[in-house]
Amino acid sequence: MTKLLCTAALLALLATSAAAQPSDAALAARVDRVLAKTPLIDGHNDLPWAIRERFDGKMDKVDLARDTKALPAPAGDPPLMTDIGRLKAGRVGGQFWSVWIPADLKGPEAVQVTLEQIDIVRQMTQRWPQALEMAYTADDVVRIHKAGRVASLVGIEGGHQINDSLPALRQMYAAGARYMTLTHARNVAWADSATDNPRLDGLSPFGEQVVREMNWLGMLVDLSHVSEATMKDALRVAQAPAIFSHSGSRAVADHPRNVSDEILLLVKQNRGVVMANFAPGYASNEAARWASDRAAERTRGNAPPYAGNFIGQPEKAQAALEAWEKANPHPPVTLAMIADHIEHIAKVCGVDCVGIGSDFDGIPTTPAGLEGVDKFPGLFIELARRGWSDADLAKLAGGNVLRVMREAEAAAKRLQAARPASNATIAELDRPKR
C-alpha cells in the first residue's frame, strides 16, 4: 500500500512539474516580445557574394522581395538562405552583410572587388528601401529597427582586402564598412590566420598599427578566422572592444576557427563579444571529422595532375564520392548544438559577451532547425526553455553588439582628439631589423 502511495505521489509530482513548464507557444510569445524591443543583430551573412557568384552581381536577377529558395543554385550548393520575407519572419533587426572576397585576390584587384561588394549591399538597400536601410552607428540600428526595417551594416572579411594600406582601410570605413576580419582562411603579410601555417606568431608591427587605426576610426576589430596568437596580440593592443563575427566555442567543438576558454577570458576583459556561428563543421567534432574524411575521399578519387583513382574521369570520381557519402552520411548537427556553444561562451565569458553570427549563405549546410534567416527565433526559444531570462535573451540578440558599437564609437572620438590618422606603411613598420 505504501509503495502504491509513493508511486501515485511521484506521478502527481511529475504531472505538476510538466504542467508548470511553459509551452512552446508561451516561449515563442516571450521571444517575440524580446525581439520587438531589441534588434536581433546577425554578425555575418554572405548574401552579397552569393549574388555576385550566382547572378554576376546583377540585382535585376534576384528579387529579395520574393522567396529566394526557388532561385537556381550551382550544382552542389544549397538554395539561398535569405530574403526579405524570411528576414521579417526571423525578426532580424540588424544585419552585418559580409563583403567577402576570395583570399587569393591580391593588391588593387582586392580593393576594387571589395568596393564592388560594398556596392551590392548599397544596391540592396536602394532596391528594397521599405525593408532595408544602411546603418553606420548603434543609434542608426536602433532607429531603423523601430521603423520596422533591417539595419544593413557592412563587414569586410579579410585583411587582404585593404592591400596593406591604412589609407585604403580608412576609405573602406568611409564607404560604410564597420568591421574588418583581420584575416580570412590564409595569412596576410601582417597577421596569421587560424587555418594557415603560422608565419608571424600573431601580428606584425604593421598588424598592430592596423588594429590601432581601426580603433581610431571606430571600426570593429573582428577576430574570427585569425590564429590564437593573432587573437592575443589584437586583444593586447586593442583600445576598444573587439568582436568575433562568426565563431563558436573550442571547448564544445575543437576546431581552430573556434575560440578557446583562455581567449574567452581575454574577451571578457576587453568587453568584446563572440557571435556564435552556425557552420556545422565548427559546431560539431563529428561533423568536422566527416568533412575531413570527405575531403580525403575526394582527393583519392580525383587529385590532379598525376594522382587519384579516377583522374581524368570526372563522372567516375563524382559517382565514387556520392557512393562514399551514401555509405557515410553527414552526422546530425542541430539547433540545440548551437545553443550549447552559446551557453558555454556565456558561462566562461559572461552573458554580456555573446551574440549571433550565422554565416548564412556562406555555408554549404546548416544545422537542423536553422535552415535560413527565418529560423532565428527557434534558437531563442530553445535558450528560453533552458532558463534564459528575457534580459539575457535581449543581450544575446543585439544588446551586447549595440554596447560594443557604442564603446567603439566613443573610443574613436577619444583617439581622434589625441592624434591624426596614421601614415605608417608596412614597408616602414615591418622592415627587418639590422
User: Is the pLDDT confidence value at 5 over 50?
Assistant: no
Catalytic residue (choose from 42, 83, 140, 157): 157
The pLDDT assigned to 307 comes to: 58
Is the link from the previous residue into 305 a cis peptide, with omega within 30 of 0? yes
User: Can you give the pTM of this predicted structure?
Assistant: 0.91
The pLDDT assigned to 9 comes to: 47
Rounded to whole angstroms, the Cα distance separating 157 from 357 reads 13
Ramachandran category for residue 262: left, alpha or beta (phi over 0 → left; psi -120 to 50 → alpha):
alpha
Confirm if 243 and 156 have CB atoms less than 8 A apart.
no
User: Is the pLDDT confidence value at 72 over 80?
Assistant: yes
Catalytic residue (choose from 42, 46, 83, 228): 46
User: Is the pLDDT confidence value at 300 over 90?
Assistant: no
> 44 catalytic, yes or no?
yes
The pLDDT assigned to 364 comes to: 93
The pLDDT assigned to 64 comes to: 97
Taking only the tens place, the pLDDT of each residue in 176-232 is: 999 999 999 999 999 999 999 999 999 999 999 999 999 999 999 999 999 999 999
The pLDDT assigned to 305 comes to: 58
> 160 catalytic, yes or no?
no
> 246 catalytic, yes or no?
yes
User: Is the pLDDT confidence value at 150 over 50?
Assistant: yes
Taking only the tens place, the pLDDT of each residue in 390-405 is: 999 999 999 999 999 9
The pLDDT assigned to 302 comes to: 63
Rounded to whole angstroms, the Cα distance separating 219 from 179 reads 5
User: Is the pLDDT confidence value at 68 over 80?
Assistant: yes
Catalytic residue (choose from 184, 255, 341, 344): 184
| 8-12, 27-31, 81-85, 105-109: least confidently modelled range | 8-12
Catalytic residue (choose from 225, 255, 341, 344): 225
The pLDDT assigned to 10 comes to: 42
CATH topology of domain 25-284+333-429: TIM Barrel (3.20.20)
Averaged pLDDT for residues 153-165: 98
Taking only the tens place, the pLDDT of each residue in 48-65 is: 999 999 999 999 999 999
Q: What is the DSSP string of 17-77?
A: HHHHSPPHHHHHHHHHHHHHHS-EEEEEE-HHHHHHHHHTT-GGG--TTS-GGGS---TTP
Count, residues in the chain = 434
> 341 catalytic, yes or no?
no
Averaged pLDDT for residues 111-120: 98
User: Is the pLDDT confidence value at 82 over 80?
Assistant: yes
User: Is the pLDDT confidence value at 19 over 50?
Assistant: no
The pLDDT assigned to 315 comes to: 77
The pLDDT assigned to 218 comes to: 98
> 359 catalytic, yes or no?
yes
Contacts of 90 (CB under 8 A, 6+ apart): 40, 372, 373, 374, 375, 376, 377
Count H helices and E strands in the chain, helices first. Answer: 18, 9
Catalytic residue (choose from 133, 359, 361, 374): 359
Confirm if 211 and 203 have CB atoms less than 8 A apart.
yes
User: Is the pLDDT confidence value at 13 over 60?
Assistant: no
DSSP state of 420: -
Catalytic residue (choose from 44, 145, 255, 341): 44
Domain boundaries, the chain: 25-284+333-429, 285-332
Catalytic residue (choose from 246, 255, 341, 344): 246
Averaged pLDDT for residues 270-298: 85
Averaged pLDDT for residues 258-271: 98
User: Is the pLDDT confidence value at 310 over 90?
Assistant: no
The pLDDT assigned to 22 comes to: 79
